[in-house]
Amino acid sequence: MTYVFKLPLKAASAWYPLLASACVAQVLDEMKVTNHVKFANDVFINDKKACGILCKSELHRCFKIEIGIGVNLNAPKEAYQDVPTASSLFSETGTTVDVIEFFWKLT
């Protein structure tokens, strides 16, 4: 999912990836999933990357920032055979995640 914000000032844009990562980590905490944020744009579950944040900003009449949040939710373990450092919430917990519910928790 991608969020777009238009702000009057370019205020500390370097903090936005970390804030987005913290939001994902908070949702995972609420789901009782142990996780950690790798500064500043990745979230790991069991030492495997399950989420990445990408931010893009521009200044044209106002400050605009796009925050893309990619969370691996329901992919099976087989999907990560070639990338042993990546995983999904389902692969690590065995629980299927309701994508819409996760989205609403994140917003």
The predicted pLDDT at position 71 comes to 96
Residue 8 CB coordination number (10 Å)? 8
pLDDT along the chain (107 residues), means of 10: 63 78 95 92 96 85 82 96 96 96 92
The H or E element spanning position 3 is: strand 2-7
CA distances from residue 28 to 1, 6, 37 in whole angstroms, order as listed: 16, 27, 11
- What is the Cα Rg of the chain in Å? 15
Ramachandran angles phi, psi of 63, nearest 5°: -85, 125
Give the pTM: 0.84
The predicted pLDDT at position 70 comes to 95
The predicted pLDDT at position 59 comes to 74
The predicted pLDDT at position 39 comes to 80
